[in-house]
Structure 1
Amino acid sequence: MKKTFKLTHPKIKYARLVDTVRRDVKRYLKRERSKELPEGFDIWDFDCKFGPSAEAAEVISVAEIGTAINTAEERQLESFYIEILARASHRTGKA
């Protein structure tokens, strides 16, 4: 998913647009995690970027997506860019 979300609409309130973005991201992650893994891999990992535009996007983890959306909401941004790319990976043991 590489997408710029617009948070302005003449009839839909800002908070509802932000909720829609959260739902879309959550649905995308669930859909990607349910796909069958290639042989030899045991988990889906995600490479994520977030920012006000594609050029200014910074690398974040999947766990930080919600916080990044909250920050964009607090700043009342009119749009932001999010990139989530799934890749097959191996589990790492706890240290």
Structure 2
Amino acid sequence: MIYATGISFYKNEGNKNLKSIVRIQLESTSDESWRLDEKVIKGWYEKEKIHDWLKSNKEKDFEIKIKISPYSQLEPVENNGVKYVRAVADETLVNNLLELKNYYES
């Protein structure tokens, strides 16, 4: 399984929302067979790249989940030309992706 474990924003980002996420930290469990350029998926990836992976590999059962309960699955979204991802809606008030640990970029 591939899990999202953190999100990053630009340092002076005042409005933290799904579209303003810059990168997402991913980690794979030891039994995960998906690879990127023959490497285990682990590290920081741009949200647009993750969007494209999810969209182009949907039929192949490629999935990424949030590493907090209820372990929601990420889904690709595009709005006004902006590509991003979000956790599939559930009973929580805030999208679970935004509940991950926040990091900041210059």
TM-score over 0.5 (shorter chain): no
Which is strand-richer, 1 or 2? 2
Which is helix-richer, 1 or 2?
A: 1
Larger Rg: 1 or 2? Answer: 1
TM-score of the pair, normalised by structure 1: 0.35
What TM-score, normalized to structure 2? 0.33
Larger RCO (CA under 8 A, 6+ residues apart): 1
